[in-house]
Structure 1
Amino acid sequence: MADTPSDISALRQEIEAMRAAYEARLQALEQRLKVAEGATSQAPKPEAAVAQPPASVAATVPATSGGGANSFNPSMSLILSGLYTRTSLDPASYAITGFQLPADAEVGPGTRGLSLAESELGFSANVDPWLHGAANISLHADNTVSVEEAYVQTTSLGNGVSLKAGRFFSGIGYLNPQHSHTWDFTDNPLAYQALLGTQYGDDGVQLSWLAPTDRYIEISAELGRGRSFPGSDTGRNGAGMTALSAHTGGDIGDSHNWRAGLSVLNAKATDQALNATSAAGSLVNNAFSGSTRVWVVDGVWKWAPDGNASHTNFKLQGEYLRSTRDGSLVYDVGNSNSTGAYRAVQSGWYVQGVYQFMPNWRIGLRTERLNPGTPDYGINALSLMGSGYQPRKNSLMLDYNPSEFSRVRLQFAQDRSREGRPDNQIFLQYQMSLGAHGAHSY
């Protein structure tokens, strides 16, 4: 039977729809190629060409994947992580002497024994020729799920400008934007734990600019809800967090490159519940209302002979964080309930080096220290008088990376966060990457 005019019309519509979909897909691929070419010409040498070991977990998508990240829409990845922890002190009583933190702050070594560490499920894809979307879902050991990141980002504003909106890790410092499976040690440094609650993420917008120069220069500005420590979710209409950061870097010959940056984070808090230790040594619950400003200075230097990191390489990095909190503090909310002025200037730093001494094997050393300063507690000074103790920690790690998709790490640490109570810690960790996973940042 011959096709009717209506059938022919329907076929034409289907063909037009297929043609439109194909053209949109082609435009998206062309745009991604332009963005990649622009980033290659403006940024420092890529990670694989410098001192980042090729064995970083899931650093690239294997060439044999038959399409890699474009095989699915969206591309999907899963990071599996497990951990054995042995400590000489009970992690349940963990505290950082001289620093007040929320009860739910993710600090310390975690639980003893065998545990499923944080696993991460990731999705990413181009929405259209102008937008890219990504989401990272954290699967926690206590069977809870949280949205770590979920954002859209522009791809074609031009002139090195990019806009990101949603939930994401702030671009301050060096370690803060990085996911935990990319860290060179099992845990984040004490300075991040005490002053940023381990890692600062928020709901907001970020505007960044990559300068069209031979030297890498990137500047970014952020506005956020301010829901994370050192801020708190106050329900205001305006922004509860602002952040600025600037980074620059480049190559020195064929074997060296570097990056350095300066960042500042401003956050507001209202009735922020904090755990503290009184002058008598008892645990008390306080409430802080006011503002916090955190400065971060970061630097990274990488070496690989003639730019070839496959056999041996070295990375040296360090950061200095300085926090100023100014406002009022309610001491011992459930009992004394005494309100007074509060101002604290506290700081911390770490320096670490990681050396790949042969293919697939790395060794690293990290040393770090905190300075609690001399907080002004106003009328509550006698109740919260501190000893001036400066927490510190040293860590040694050895990891083996059979491929870019797997890692086994052994780490020893002596944690002196609790005054007069050193904690000897041992960690045995595995990390495995399944599915498509993009290259990590510098």
Structure 2
Amino acid sequence: MKLVKPIILFLVLIFASTVFSQESENTTENEEAEIEITDQNEESIESEVEKLIADSEAKAEKSNGTDDPNSASRNSRLVPLSRRTGFMIDRSSVPDTFVALDLVAENDLSSTQRETSNSIDVREIEFGFSGYIDWFASANVLFALHRENHGANAGEYIFDIHEAFIELYALPSNFRARIGRMFFDAGRLNGVHRHDWHFTNAPVIHKEVFNDTFVGEGAADTGIELSYLMPWDFFQELKVGVFRGRVFGHSHGDGSEKPAPLWTSRLKQFIPITGNWGTEFGFTYMRYHPTTNAQDIDQIFGSDFTVRWFASRIYMFTWSSEFWYKYQQINNAEPTIKQGFYSYVDFLFMQNYSVGYRFDYYSDEFRALKLNRSYIGQSFWFTWRPSEFSYYRVNYEIKDYNQYENIIGTNHVIYVQGVFMLGVHPPHRY
């Protein structure tokens, strides 16, 4: 607690100073100046491109028929390709690089230390490369160094491949594909890295469904994910994935060979309400074998929706929820059922500040053991974003246990988080 109080006081002072400074700025004049500069830059770039194309074509006419590989006629044949595709292929260009640093200070206000170690740590460092290979494909190669909180490796930092995949854009008939290791598309949260969440920690139902109760980020695997954009008037996309399925959730081992791969599927649609309002909702199904026995099967059903209002850079409202049901059958015994949901709202105001609230519910039923457990959680947070490359957050959680993790009672925990970005991070989905 001695460490958390000064950090909170520091953030409060920053908030007060920035509020007064923002009120004295003339935002209208700044925005008009930015628009005028942008228009001038675009016109200058367009004129330069047209001049280069004209010079190249003129040189091609003079040197027509030459066999010189560096001649203007040879180079001019690349111009129509760039005009048609909008792509200038240059293998000498470097990919986008980035580093994301996630710092978290935590304190258990109930003094039980059942929830946290009451310390400050580097929770994760993520770094990698991304960019276009050519007009047909792009690639993401991401690494992560994260801190283990439980088990034999508690307190140690583990290095692993976060994601490494190529994405194919130009497949026929509205098809696209991702091939490699990835956080597969399942629900809303699994495809978003945790440093980009609106809150500090994952909901309990997310941890339980994706077998990631220690780290909580989600499930990733190696395979192929094929998507098809429906030819309707509104946006609707179907994704089907096939993955190795040796492990499911957080793991540093290779796992055992399973009778069948992991199958994933997701149908999602985006429907605009007005120019500033939009909603996305989807349905997910996953099936895999938790053991090497072909009779042991896990089936997971999920649904999600997100409503977002984006009036300007100053105001934005997000409401998002996920519902999950997991049915597990092992050794022909009575099944284990896990179910629950979370729902949160986040409101951005004054361009750099946001507040939010999340409600969690989780329950499970071990019929063979005649054991029922439940959990109810609430989270409140305040976030300050001085720019798109960093944010500072205070997150307060109330956790009400009923036998879950062998705990009965209520815990109060406070987290102070700082995330800092260097370079260009690959964009997340809407």
Give me the TM-score of the superposition, normalised by structure 1.
Answer: 0.70
Instruction: Select which of 217, 226, 247 maps to 2:245.
Output: 226
Match of 1:150 in 2: 164
CA distance in 2 between partners of 1:113 and 1:22 (Å)? 62
2:98 to 77, 94, 98: 77
Alignment of 1:237-252 (within 5 A): 239-252=260-273
Of the three residues 333, 338, 360, the one matched with 1:368 is: 360
Q: Which residue among 174, 195, 200 is the counterpart of 2:209?
A: 195
In structure 2, the residue corresponding to 1:269 is in which secondary structure? coil
What is aligned with 2:6? none
When residues 316 and 73 of structure 1 are mapped into structure 2, their CA distance, relative to the original with a 3 A threshold, is same
**How far does residue 27 in structure 1 lie from its aligned partner after superposition?**
5.5
2:410 to 422, 431, 434: 422
Residue 185 of structure 1: how far off its partner (Å): 0.4
Deviations, residues 311-345 of structure 1 (Å, cap 9, x unaligned):
212111101000000012xxxxxxxxxxx724112
Cα pair 1:231 1:241 within 8 Å, conserved: no
Counterpart position of 1:412: 396
Across the two proteins, how many residue pairs are aligned to each other? 344
**Aligned-residue CA RMSD (Å):** 3.3
Distance 2:67 2:110 in 1: 73
Please name the residue that 1:136 is paired with. 142
* 1:208-251 deviations in Å (ceiling 9; x for gaps): 01224331111100001113336996543764200110001121
* Equivalent residue, structure 1, for 2:120: 114
- Counterpart amino acid of 1:321? W
Distance 1:21 1:162 in 2: 31
The answer on whether the counterparts of 2:220 and 2:248 sit within 8 Å (CA) in structure 1 is no
Structure 1 pair 121–255 and aligned structure 2 pair: CA distance change class (3 A): same
Larger Rg: 2
Partner of 2:36: none
Query: CA, structure 1 residues 268+357, in 2 after alignment: closer, same or farther (shift >3 Å)?
Result: same
Cα deviation digits, residues 75-129 of structure 1 (max 9, x gap):
11111111111124789866xxxxxxxxxxxxxx6x4311002121021122233
Q: Is 1:351 the equivalent of 2:372?
A: no
For residues 71 and 173 of structure 1, do their structure 2 counterparts lie closer, same or farther at Cα, with a shift above 3 Å needed? farther
Does residue 87 in structure 1 map to residue 87 in structure 2? no
Q: How far apart in 2 are the matches of 1:21 and 1:200?
A: 48
Q: Does 1:254 align with 2:268?
A: no
Give secondary structure in 2 for the equivalent of 1:191: helix
Deviations 1:275-305 (CA, angstroms, capped at 9, x unpaired): xxxxxxxxxxxxx98210111100001123x
Task: Say which is worse superposed, 135-144 or 402-411, in terms of deviation.
Answer: 135-144
Q: Does 1:322 align with 2:325?
A: yes
Q: What are structure 2's unaligned runs of at least 5 residues? A: 1-65, 148-155
3-state SS of 2:236 partner: strand
Tell me, in whole angstroms, the C-alpha distance in 2 between the residues paired with 1:86 and 1:29.
Answer: 58
Q: Structure 1: where are the runs of 5+ without partners?
A: 1-10, 35-69, 95-108, 273-287, 329-339
CA distance in 1, matches of 2:186, 2:313: 30
User: What is residue 15 of structure 1 aligned with on the other side?
Assistant: 70
Residue type matched to 1:183 in 2?
Answer: W
**Greater RCO, CA 8 A, separation 6+:** 1
Residue 92 and residue 149 in structure 1: after superposition, are their counterparts in 2 closer, same or farther (change >3 A)?
farther
Asked whether the 8 Å contact 1:231–1:292 carries over to 2, the reply is no
Contact map agreement 2:246 2:258 (CA 8 A) in 1 = no
- Tell me, in whole angstroms, the C-alpha distance in 2 between the residues paired with 1:231 and 1:120: 16
- Residues 29, 294 of structure 1: CA spacing in aligned structure 2 closer, same or farther, 3 A cutoff? farther
Q: Which residue of 2 aligns with 1:216?
A: 235
Relative distance call for 1:402 and 1:202 in structure 2 (3 A) is same
Give the equivalent residue in structure 1 for 2:427: 439
Contact 1:231 1:267 in 2 (8 A): no
Query: Which structure 2 residues correspond to residues 165-314 of structure 1 after superposition, within 5 A?
Result: 165-196=179-210, 197=212, 198=216, 199-229=218-248, 235-236=256-257, 239-270=260-291, 290-304=296-310, 308-314=311-317
Question: Partners in 2 of 1:23 and 1:236 — Cα distance?
Answer: 49
* One-letter amino acid of the counterpart of residue 358, structure 1: M
Decide which of 379, 387, 392 is 1:395's aligned counterpart: 379
State the shift of 1:423 in Å: 2.1
Q: Distance in 1 between matches of 2:105 and 2:315?
A: 28
SS in 2 for 1:309: coil
d(CA) in 2 for partners of 1:13 and 1:78? Answer: 43
Aligned counterparts of 2:145 and 2:75: Cα–Cα separation in 1: 39
Runs of 4+ residues deviating >6 angstroms = 11-14, 18-22, 89-92
1:420 maps to a residue whose letter is: I
What are the superposed Cα offsets for residues 10-57 of structure 1, whole Å, 9 maximum, x if unpaired? x977638x9689949x958965769xxxxxxxxxxxxxxxxxxxxxxx
